Chain A
Amino acid sequence: GENVEQHPSTLSVQEGDSAVIKCTYSDSASNYFPWYKQELGKGPQLIIDIRSNVGEKKDQRIAVTLNKTAKHFSLHITETQPEDSAVYFCAASNYKLSFGAGTTVTVRA
């Protein structure tokens, strides 16, 4: 089955700086790569996703890149704000989603 690895497990950044989270996947058949933000006690919320036929996607302060050859994808958050503090999960899907272990992001004011 699919195996998704996510790094780092924790990330502390100064407000206004950028945050980068990286993930790798194992199944070359995976074709959909969403990123979720989860706040304490809540379900995951989709923040951005990318499909296998696209190399990069951007939505305001959030961007995701995908390298199919290397089987890795990354989340970039620019101009971080305190409300960006949460746990972020990457996932890879070929019908069923497999999640990374998560990254706890803390934005210091």
Chain B
Amino acid sequence: GAVVSQHPSWVICKSGTSVKIECRSLDFQATTMFWYRQFPKQSLMLMATSNEGSKATYEQGVEKDKFLINHASLTLSTLTVTSAHPEDSSFYICSARDYFSGDRLSGANVLTFGAGSRLTVL
């Protein structure tokens, strides 16, 4: 089945530094990837939609200059947390849609999720 690899699985950084998280679709092409954020014991909140070859679409309240998204190829999207602060500490999860899967008639959007990246900002 479809596999999404996310790296790093956990990272600790100092306040003010930037951290990059990679999301790769290993065995399929993903024209669209989604980035989520999850706080402890809470649900997943969509941050942005990453489209290959174009600018990401951010959800309301998400700072695009803070969370830089790049989707340069059909298998790779990156999320960079710039000038990270302790309040950015969270579990970041990406998901990808196999361009050739899903039900095109109904528009069903089958997503595969990565294992997540735990970010701790000191």
Q: Does B109 contact A (CB under 8 A)?
A: yes
Q: Does B67 contact A (CB under 8 A)?
A: no
Contact code string B30-66 (vs A, CB < 8 Å = 1, else 0): 0000100000001111100100000000000000000
A99 to chain B, nearest CB (A): 5
State the interface size on chain A (CB cutoff 8 A).
Answer: 25
Contact of B43 with A100 in the complex, beta carbons under 8 Å: yes
Q: Does B111 contact A (CB under 8 A)?
A: yes
Which residues of A sit under 8 angstroms from B114, Cβ to Cβ? 43
B94-114 interface (Cβ within 8 A of A): 95, 103, 106-114
Contact of B106 with A41 in the complex, beta carbons under 8 Å: no
Q: Does A93 contact B (CB under 8 A)?
A: yes
Q: Which residue of B lies closest to A4 (CB)?
A: B43
Which residues of B sit under 8 angstroms from A100, Cβ to Cβ? 43
Stretch with Cβ within 8 A of B (4 or more), from A13-21, A44-52, A58-66, A71-79:
A44-52
Which residues of A sit under 8 angstroms from B111, Cβ to Cβ? 34, 46, 97
14 A-B pairs with CB atoms under 8 Å apart are: A31-B106, A32-B107, A32-B110, A41-B118, A43-B93, A43-B114, A44-B113, A46-B111, A46-B112, A51-B108, A95-B107, A95-B109, A97-B111, A98-B46
